[in-house]
Structure 1
């Protein structure tokens, strides 16, 4: 990628946020409502309130729960998805159960998890895991079912089975759909991370934002919400870089097909 092309992409990515901040700043210049945040005040609260001990005490625990729950959902969703997607019998047996469990919103399960598991990190991590599992699992099942049947028959003909078949055929063929499921699960993980910390918690971003709200510290509260948005942007960038590396062959194939049309 040339420097000019990279600079163009950066400018295009920053153009809309800059316009929004300018409109926001102009619209709140003369506003005296204490509940309406101003860009300057949010930046000030980020530096004076959040930058320091609160990062270690509140942000790090949230990221820890997010990483464990989301990582567990990726591992469990991919393994179960490949297993279920490879067997028509298993798909028919698990289909009704999946439809029932998927229809239940994960936040509704939080009170039950608090009673069964407890108010410690386990209930919060499990809620994130449960909410992120379904998009990854279902996309993995669809990706496994949609593998090229000619290639599948070829692997059987040459006696490629077991781990080798999974590693060199099933997983690469399913990876585009798996990455789609992970992309869909990422914002769900952030939402459930915050929701799980708003009830029966003693630390975390959700807990601290609720504490600021209950003590009428609206500036630090909005700054905490802004941090959640920054975490979402950072994770999105990391995912895009990872996706480009993992699916480099896939994007290259699509570019070749597009150029031939």
Structure 2
């Protein structure tokens, strides 16, 4: 008898398999960390059990609303501002090569300036407040969106652009067409920008802030609250992971047509 060919997995089974593969490494890492640190007596590397206790006591109840929520609000505002500015400027640079060549030195100078270095200047110009955090986060996260947008618009098929001009399609519709063609690269830039934004939360709140995750991390370090400091870092990692999962859902919903086209070409 001929051997039976295995049945292909359905969509639900594949998703469950991918989820298991994704969850297994963090679970294994946490398990190793838990048992390897259980007998630790080091002041600087407390047991994971102590860190989890500090995380539950500090962040799940007392400080989540006063520190974590404002940090997420700053991240959301800076990310939205950076995305809007990056898409608009990137679209203009991608469609007008002369403009891109003209402003290229200025963009390279601004991009090479570390956003962390802007924090003291932003505090001097705008004072202490939410605006400083939002501006610093936006200044760091705008570049992946801007550069990916410009590159995606430039990579538009020239034949498609010529056909659109030949049929006298309205400029507004041509802009929509260019954005749609560049949307996979724009979303990739947004995903990178989101990761940078999580990092910039800490830097933007360590100077010129009286609350937030970054501020609390600095306070724990100054007060020598080592478990609390580790708990804040674990919280940042968990928030970054959850934000990445949420963004993947947004990406699947927005770029479903793109994945369908790729499957038809395979």
Of residues 26, 32, 42, the one that matches 1:33 is: 42
Distance in 2 between residues matched to 1:51 and 1:75, nearest whole Å: 33
In structure 2, what is the equivalent of residue 172 of structure 1?
Answer: 180
**Unmatched 5+ residue regions in structure 1?**
none
SS in 2 for 1:197: helix
Aligned to 1:51, the other structure's residue is in SS state helix
Structure 1 residue ranges (4+ consecutive) displaced by more than 3 angstroms after TM superposition: none
> Normalization by structure 2: what TM-score?
0.93
Corresponding position of 1:244 = 252
Quote the offset at 1:257 in angstroms. Answer: 2.4
Once the two structures are TM-superposed, the CA of residue 161 in structure 1 deviates from its matched residue by 2.2
What is the count of residue pairs matched by the alignment?
Answer: 257
1:54 — aligned with what? 63
Gaps of 5+ in 2: 1-9
Q: Which residue of 2 aligns with 1:110?
A: 119
Question: Could you tell me which residue of structure 2 aligns to residue 17 of structure 1?
Answer: 26
Give 1:100's aligned residue.
109
Summarize deviations over 1:142-193 as a string: whole Å, max 9, x none: 11111011111111111112222222x1111010111111122111111111
Counterpart selection for 1:44 from 47, 53, 75: 53
* Secondary structure of 2:88 counterpart: helix
**In structure 2, the residue corresponding to 1:36 is in which secondary structure?**
coil
Q: Distance in 2 between matches of 1:16 and 1:223?
A: 20
Asked if 1:208 corresponds to 2:189, the answer is no
Shift of 1:39: 2.2
Give how far 1:196 is off. Answer: 0.7
Q: Quick check: 1:123 aligned with 2:132?
A: yes
Q: CA deviation at 1:131?
A: 0.6
SS in 1 for 2:211: coil
Contact 2:78 2:135 (8 Å CA) reproduced: yes
Q: TM-score, structure 1 length as denominator?
A: 0.94
Q: How does 1:214-225 map to 2 (within 5 A)?
A: 214-225=222-233
**After the TM superposition, which residues 130-209 of structure 1 pair with which residues of structure 2 at under 5 Å, given as runs?**
130-167=139-176, 169-209=177-217
